[in-house]
Structures are given as C-alpha cells and as structure tokens.
C-alpha cells in the first residue's frame, strides 16, 4: 500500500498539569463544589482592581468573565484529579477568548493582568477550603499547587495569544483586501456614490479630492514606505502607486517627500475621486519622463508643473518634426553653441526679449545676452520676432532642451561673450 494512503493523525492539543502528590485526586474532588463561589469572588476582585473589566450596564459580560474564571479553576481541578482528562474543549474556549479580545481591538495586557489576579485568589481560596475540609496539605504540596497553577496559566495564555493573533491576522488580511478593492474601484473611475460602501468597509473617509502617485524603485534594496493610514497603497501592482486624499492640504507634499525615500515618484494633479485614474495616468507619464531624464526635478515630481513636456512627449514623432522645422536655423549652429542659444531664446520669449530680465534669470551679464540675441537674429532673421507662431516656437524649444539636456555645455560661458 502506498504511503500516501496512510492517514497521519495530528497530535491532540492539550493542557498538561505536572502535579503529583498523595491525596491530590481526593482534594480536587472535594473542592469542585466550591468552584462557583471562588470564581465569583475572583471575578469581583478583577472588576475592583481593573476598571476596564467592570461593565455594570452589560450583565452578559460580567457573566462571561465569571464563567471564564470558573472554567479555568474547574479544569485545573479536573486535571489535578485526572492528568489524562481531555483539554480539547477548554483549549478551544481559550482560543475564542483571544479572538474576542482581538475583535474588540484590545491587546492582551489587561487579560493577563486579570488572570494573575484571578490565579492568586484561586490558589489562596482553594488552599483555605482544603484545610477547612480537613485536608492537611504540607507546605511542599501547597507550593506544588501554586507552581502548577502558574504553569497552567502560562499554557492557557499561549492559547489565548494564539486565538488573538489568528483573529488579528484575519482582520488585517480582510482590511487589506477591502483597501485593495477600493483602490481598484478608484482607478477604474467608479462614481462617488458607488464608492461609499467600499470606502466604509476599508475604513477610509471619502475625501473631496485625491491625487495618484506613480512609483518606481531605485534599486533592489528599496524598502516599502511606511505611510499614513489615510494613504491607499498600491505597492502590490506591477506599476506601484498610491492614492493620496486631499493632496493640496497642508504638509501633504512634505509627507510624500519624507516617506518615499528610495523611490522615484511622480504625483498627478488633484482631481475628484471619480477621476483618480486620470491622475495616475498623468503621474505615470511624468514618472517615465523623469526616469528618462527629460524632467529634471526633485522626487516626487509634480506632473502638473511639467504639463508642456508631458503633453508633447505623447506624440514624440510629431514633436521632432516640429523641432526640425522651427529650429532648423538653430540646429545648424556649432554643437557647443546650440544649447546656450536655445536656452537664451526660450528665456527671451518668456521675458519679452528684455535683456536685463533674461540676464537675471540666466545669471549672465546683460552684454552676454545681447551678444547671443545678435547671434539668434543672424540665424532666424525677421522670423525671430514674429508673434503669430510664437507658441509653436516656445513648445519646440521646451521639447528640444528636454531631449538634449547638456548641463556641462550650458555651464560653459566665455568671460564676456557666450
């Protein structure tokens, strides 16, 4: 017979009690009737010392706590009487206690404090009851019972922690799935009315506006950013992104700069929530141009501030044809001059050919600007000052400078004439 046909039985999960002394079983049996009273007193002491467990308007909670204490003491005595007694139901009970604590958003600190109080009182009361019933227990036996109770408590705590961790993990997984689903709906352009339910499930307040952030790792050691909870992450996507609510609010840009260290990022324009997909498309276009070196800006790049180059680069073939036609005279200049003359001409167009203003923006002597202007007039002739197609010339210069960035060449200027 194949080994695969054999049934492999998993070990039974149980609580072990290492407690053995003469008369232990008889003492445990005699103490069973006192368990409800001891449990009630332990629950009362817990409520007195830990206010978070006192819920006078919720009698069911007080009853559940008393039953929990009673379960622990009763099972302890059962194992004291018969070490082989089953623990399956008790183990599951304590796992569910952990689940309940997690579902109410609590850590286990308060529960552990409560169990310490309850265990101390239970050992004290059980010992007194045993003496009243005529059981003469030696100091060694009392110490053994106390040690066994602490060990029992540690085992119970492990099962409670297991249930708590499992429930927390399931809740975190469900929360993550809700947020991913919401991200998908936002990027798909779902109307605001259809986003309300998914946003509530994802614990995300629908903002007035959002902006998408396109991301690209700079290297294999790039770490996942730690982001504020109101930022929806799409780091699981093949092209990672974020959705940032109210992106124009105070401190939002600084927040992105701080948390996206190690990433190249571009942020799309602020839009209504139903237009998040459009914001992401523009962000990704800007990100691609930044990675190509066509946009020179600190990360995150604001796509809205680079709209001319973003829009023009969508039709690169057409842009290159316009460059050849409009900048033909410039392209005929010596390579060392082209970038400086193109930069000067663009700035002149933006400053109305005011040599003083141009020199201030380019950090040049006004005479250097005038010299370059004469060179440009020699190249372009009367067309240099024609206003009818100045927009086309302006766009062509922007595109050419982006496609032919030569910082070193731009920095080379003669002492007097560029």
Same domain membership, residue 149 and residue 263: no
**Residue 222 pLDDT exceeds 60:** yes
Distance between CA atoms of 368 and 349, rounded to whole angstroms? 17
Task: Report the percent of the chain where pLDDT is more than 70.
Answer: 94
Residues 364 and 298 placed together within one structural domain of the fold: no
Which DSSP letter does residue 238 get? S
Residue 206 to residues 153, 172, 193, 244, Cα–Cα distance (Å): 46, 20, 10, 11
Q: How many CA atoms lie within 13 A of 396 on its CB side?
A: 20
Residues 348 and 236 occupy one common structural domain: no
pLDDT digits (tens, 9 = 90+) for 137-196: 778 877 888 888 888 888 888 888 888 888 887 877 788 899 999 999 999 999 999 999
- For residue 215, being part of any structural domain is answered with yes
Domain housing 287: 207-219+231-306
Structure tokens at 317: 């073939």
Residue 276, pLDDT > 90, answer yes
Q: Which residue has the tokens 């054999």?
A: 6
Mean pLDDT of 62-83: 84
Contacts of residue 314, defined as CB under 8 A and 6 or more positions apart, other chains included, come to 285
Compute CA distances 408 → 274, 362, 398, 411, 414, whole Å. 44, 15, 18, 5, 13
- Residue 8 resides in a domain: no
Q: What is the CATH number of the domain that holds 30?
A: 1.10.490
- 138 plus 90 within the same structural domain: yes
The alpha helices in 292-354, defined as continuous H runs, are 307-312, 316-326, 328-331, 335-350
Residues 284 and 356 reside in one and the same domain:
no
- The whole-number pLDDT of residue 406 equals 60
Query: Which three-class secondary structure state does DSSP give residue 211?
Result: strand
Instruction: Name the nearest CA neighbour of 183 among 260, 230, 249, 242.
Output: 242
Q: Which residues pair with 240 in a beta bridge?
A: none
Backbone angles phi, psi at 252, to 5 degrees: -70, -45
User: pLDDT tens for residues 320-367?
Assistant: 888 888 888 888 888 878 899 999 999 998 898 898 999 999 999 989
Q: Taking 80 as the threshold, does the pLDDT of residue 93 lie above it?
A: yes
Within a domain: 13:
no
- SS3 state at 27: helix
Distance of CA 159 to the CA centre of its chain: 29
Residue with the bigger pLDDT between 407 and 221: it is 221
Quote the CA–CA distance of 207 and 349 in Å, as a whole number: 41
Count how many residues are written for the chain.
418
Q: Which of 140, 167, 164 is nearest to 19 (CA)?
A: 140
75 and 161 co-located in one domain: yes
Q: Do 28 and 165 fall within a single domain? A: yes
Are residue 295 and residue 339 in the same domain, yes or no? no
For the chain, what is the mean pLDDT? Answer: 84
pTM of the model: 0.56
Identify whether 192 is part of a domain: no
Which tokens sit at 83?
Answer: 């070490």
Instruction: Look at residue 86 and tell me if it is in a domain.
Output: yes
14: in domain:
no
pLDDT digits (tens, 9 = 90+) for 94-122: 888 888 888 877 788 888 888 888 888 88
* Pair 159, 73 in one domain: yes
Q: Are 164 and 302 part of one and the same domain?
A: no
Question: How many domains would you assign to the chain?
Answer: 3
167 and 28 in a common domain: yes
Is residue 127 one of the residues assigned to a domain? yes
Ramachandran quadrant class, 217 (left: phi over 0; alpha: psi -120 to 50; beta: rest): beta
Which positions ≥6 away from 174 have C-beta within 8 Å?
A: none
Longest dimension (CA), the chain: 121
**What pLDDT does residue 14 have?**
78
Flag whether 176 is in a domain: no
**Torsion of Cα atoms, 198 then 201 then 202 then 205, to 10°:** 80
Task: For strands 301-302 and 263-267, give the pairing.
Answer: parallel
Q: Which of 79-93, 132-146, 199-213, 335-349 has the highest mean pLDDT?
A: 199-213
> In this predicted structure, what is the pLDDT of residue 269?
93
Residue 3 has pLDDT above 60, yes or no: no
| Dist CA 397 CA 417 (whole Å) | 22
Domain co-membership, 297 together with 338: no
């Amino acid at each position: 017979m194949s080994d695969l046909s054999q049934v492999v039985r998993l070990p039974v999960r149980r609580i072990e009690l290492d407690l053995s002394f003469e008369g232990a079983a008889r003492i445990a049996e005699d103490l069973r009737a006192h368990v409800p009273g001891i449990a009630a007193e332990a629950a009362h002491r817990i409520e007195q010392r830990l206010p978070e467990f006192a819920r006078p308007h919720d009698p069911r909670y007080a009853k559940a706590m008393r039953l929990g204490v009673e379960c622990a003491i009763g099972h302890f005595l059962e194992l004291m009487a018969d070490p082989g007694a089953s623990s399956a139901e008790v183990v599951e009970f304590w796992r569910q206690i952990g689940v309940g604590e997690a579902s109410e958003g609590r850590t286990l600190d308060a529960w552990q404090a409560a169990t310490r109080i309850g265990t101390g009182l239970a050992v004290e009361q059980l010992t007194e009851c045993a003496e009243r019933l005529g059981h003469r227990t030696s100091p060694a036996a009392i110490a053994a019972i106390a040690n066994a109770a602490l060990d029992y408590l540690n085992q119970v705590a492990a099962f409670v922690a297991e249930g708590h961790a499992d429930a927390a993990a399931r809740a975190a997984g469900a929360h993550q799935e809700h947020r991913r689903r919401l991200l998908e709906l936002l990027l798909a352009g779902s109307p605001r009315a259809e986003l309300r339910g998914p946003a509530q499930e994802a614990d995300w307040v629908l903002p007035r506006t959002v902006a998408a952030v396109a991301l690209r790792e700079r290297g294999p050691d790039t770490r996942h950013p730690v982001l504020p909870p109101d930022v929806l992450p799409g780091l699981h996507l093949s092209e990672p992104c974020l959705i940032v609510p109210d992106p124009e609010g105070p401190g939002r840009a600084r927040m992105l700069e701080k948390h996206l260290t190690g990433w190249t990022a571009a942020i799309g324009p602020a839009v209504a929530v139903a237009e998040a997909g459009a914001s992401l498309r523009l962000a990704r276009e800007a990100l691609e141009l930044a990675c190509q070196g066509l946009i020179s800006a600190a990360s995150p790049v604001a796509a809205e501030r680079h709209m001319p180059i973003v829009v023009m680069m969508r039709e690169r073939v057409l842009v290159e044809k316009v460059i050849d036609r409009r900048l033909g005279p410039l392209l005929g200049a010596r390579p060392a001059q082209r970038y400086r003359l193109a930069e000067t001409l663009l700035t002149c167009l933006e400053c109305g050919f005011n040599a003083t203003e141009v020199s201030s923006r380019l950090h040049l002597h006004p005479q250097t600007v005038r010299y370059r202007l004469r060179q440009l007039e020699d190249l372009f002739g009367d067309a240099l000052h024609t206003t009818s197609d100045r927009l086309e010339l302006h766009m062509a210069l922007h595109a050419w400078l982006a496609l032919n960035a030569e910082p070193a060449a731009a920095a080379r200027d003669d002492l007097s004439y560029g």
